[in-house]
Structure formats: C-alpha cells, structure tokens
Amino acid sequence: MSTENDTPFNIARVEFTSFHVHGSHQWVFVEITDDNGNTGLAELAGPGATTEIAGLTAQYAERLRLSPPVSESDVTAQLGLTVEELEADRTKATTVSALRTAIADAQARRSGVSLGEFFGGQRTKSVQLYGNMNRSMLPDDDGPRDRSPEAFAAAAREAVRRGYKAVKCAPFDEARSPFEEPGLPEAARSGIDRILAVREAIGPDVALFVDCHSRFDLDSGIALEISLREANIAWYEEAVDGIERPDVMKRIRERATMDVAGAESGYGVGLFQRIIEGHVMDVVMPDIKFCGGAGEAVEIGRVLEAIAPGSVSMHSPSGPASQLASAHVTAAFGGTRPLEHAWGEVDWRPSVLEPAERIESGRIYIPDGPGLGANLDQATVEARGRHWTL
Ligand SMILES: [Mg+2]
C-alpha cells in the first residue's frame, strides 16, 4: 500500500526571491512546489546566494525531477553526493541544505503537520532565544555605525529591554592573528573594553556570550580566556576556526572555565559528532542553511544531545524563514539551549512572512499552520523583493 509518506516528491516549480537588508547583506529565499501544489520555503545564504548557489539549486532541482526523492533525507543520495564532498564544499552544502529544508516543509504541509511534528517532535508554541546584537551594529545603508564601548552598552541595554536573558556580541574588530607579542594581544584590548561596558550595562544576571570570529590563535586564545573569565562570560565562541583547527580549539577548551562553542559552518551529523566526542567544544552550532538542512539539524540535535546534554545550539543570524525553521528544529530535538536571533537589522523584517514573524520577550512564537506555518508575504515581496526563476 502506498501512503503519502512514501510518495516520491515531484518538483514542479522552483522560484527565488531576494530582499536587500542593508549594506551588502540580503535575505534570499527559494520556494519549491510539488506537482500537487505544496510549496516549501528555505533560505540560501553566503556569497553567491543569488548567483552561483541559486544556479546550483535550479540545476540540482532539475536532476531531482529525473530521480525524485521520497524523503527529504534522500536528496544527497539521489544527487550522487558524498558526505566528504559536502563537508569540503560550502556551495554544495548550502544548496543541499536549502533543498532538503524546502522539501521537508512542503512534505509537512502535504501531511498537514507542523515542521517540528514532521520530524517527530511535539507541537510547540514558542522557543527561547538569545539576542545576538552584532547585526544591529554592522554598517547600514547610511554607513558604518558607532562601535564604541558606549554604543555596545546601549545595544546590550536594548537587548535586555527586548527581554533576552542571554546576549551575544562580537567585539574584536581590531584583532587578527598572528600577533607580534605573546599573551593577550594589544589589539584585543578594545574588544575587552566593549565587553566590560556591556557587562556593566546588563548587570550580573544576564548571560553574556562572546563571538571571536576566529581572530585568535592558541596562545592569544588561552590568554583571552582569562580576561573573559574575569568578565563572567558564559560562552566563548570561535577563538579559532574549530573545524579547520580542532587541535587548537581543544587545547583552548581544556583551559577554559566557560563553555566553548563554534562550528557554525559545519556540514553533517558525522562532523558534529566528531567534535563533541573528541572534546573539541562544549557546544556546537549547526546552521540549517549549511549543515544539511532542517532534517539533518534534527538528527544532529538528537544524536549529540544523547551523548552530551546541552551540546547543541542552532546558529541562526538568519532571515525569518530559517529563524522559524530553526525554532521548529530546536523544539523537535528537545534543545535546552536558547536559539540565536540576530535582532535589530531592519524594522520591516516581521512583514517578510505571512503571518508576520512574532518575537516577543526573548521568545519566537511558532504559527499554527502546517509546515513552517508561514509563507513569504506577497505584498512585501512586491514592495521590497526581487522575484525570479531560472
Ligand atoms: Mg559566530
């Protein structure tokens, strides 16, 4: 007997939509519709999202028309792609992630269940977030913003006013290894001043996470940890690139008193499992835009949380579709860490989705409808977006 769950997913249509956010930053969406009119939504991200990655998405979709997947998890096999290839190639990993997320969303809609339920989770009303203030402080269309310690403090106060119980900043603009001096580099001092201003602004009870964007090395990363400890930092992210330099990351973690986090660009459950089982980091940050998609992220969450509870927090400085999908994913794998949200980019962000994105008091609310529970808002697409097919 055939059920809707073992029916091949026949792709009828692939459409792209992009929105200019600010500076060079944009949100790029792909919609994939099956031959019954079920449409799934996902995001493409990174350099080349509207060109190379969109092109590869259309090309892979064409191949999937000839050999349709039954499950979203069949996509890589149907495309003949190996895990090794996807770990090594960010463009392919991003493309596969978007296809799998969009197909899962469309399949969930076809089955009349939420995306979280589709992956075996319970229906969930809301998910706790932490507030990444970085995007609110990047250059906008009016040029660079103030990045003084006072400006960091003001942004942190705004995050607390918005209800976040944990706040993340990326303060080390001036630092970049290699450094000339041993120990704590002079170039890190301004970042530490920003952290101290933030801590003063938010008080002792709000958790503070620091993202170092891989600007340090072994010696400076160990020296910096001592300064972070003094500022009561709860989460030390990417002193170095923990995927490229796992041995260095592991040695920094051995000295660290707080959680060491990273691996935001990683692909596949195998990689994240090696990181946790190898004691390279305390917390991994899979991103549904790169890790293999929403289904792979649920798998990563379930496998790793069983090995080390609290070891997964989704990376999500994303547009509203990936944000919402990441909330479904976090609920589905029973994540206990808050989910990232990069607040403060543009005030029209909620209007990108219908129903509008709802983030209040540090939580994201999941709409009632099937799949993601939201679609691109056609009026906003017409007013601000660019829509195309390939
Ligand atoms: Mg990061």
CA angle 275, 284, 243 (to 5 degrees): 50
- Residue 72 CA to ligand 1 center (angstroms) comes to 27
pLDDT, tens digit, 9 for 90 and up, residues 176-207: 999 999 999 999 999 999 999 999 999 999 99
Share in percent of the chain as helix, strand, coil (round to 5): 40, 20, 40
Centre of ligand 1 from the C-alpha of residue 290, in Å = 13
Most distant CA atoms of the chain, gap in Å: 70
Residue indicated by tokens 């994913």: 329
CA of 382 to the centre of ligand 1 (A): 32
In this prediction, residues 128-147 reach a mean pLDDT of 89
Helix (H) or strand (E) holding 33: strand 25-34
In tens, the pLDDT along 277-323 reads: 999 999 999 999 999 999 999 999 999 999 999 999 999 999 999 99
Q: Residue 237 Cα, ligand 1 centroid: separation in angstroms?
A: 6
Distance 236 CA to ligand 1 centre (A): 10
Strand-pair category, 39-44 with 25-34 = antiparallel
185 CA → ligand 1 middle, Å: 21
Residue 354: pLDDT above 60? yes
Domains of the chain: 4-112+380-388 (3.30.390.10), 118-376 (3.20.20.120)
Rounded to the nearest angstrom, the distance between the alpha carbon of 102 and the centre of ligand 1 is 24
Tell me the CA–centroid distance for residue 238 and ligand 1, in Å. 7
* DSSP structure string for 163-185: T-SEEEE---TT--SS-SSSSS-
What tens digit of pLDDT does each residue of 95-113 get?
A: 999 999 999 999 999 999 9
Give kind and range of the element (H or E) at residue 28.
strand 25-34
What pLDDT, on the 0 to 100 scale, is given for residue 1? 38
Q: Which helix (DSSP H) or strand (DSSP E) does residue 236 occupy?
A: strand 235-237
Token pair belonging to 177: 């290894």
If you search the block for the tokens 């200019």, which residue do you land on? 20
Ligand 1 centroid to residue 46 C-alpha, Å = 14
- Structural contact between residues 90 and 268, judged by C-beta atoms closer than 8 angstroms: no
Ligand 1 centroid–CA 115 distance in Å is: 26
CA–CA distance, 312 with 301 (Å, rounded to integer): 6
CA–centroid distance, 262 to ligand 1, in Å, is 7
Kindly tell me if the per-residue pLDDT of 2 is higher than 50.
Answer: no
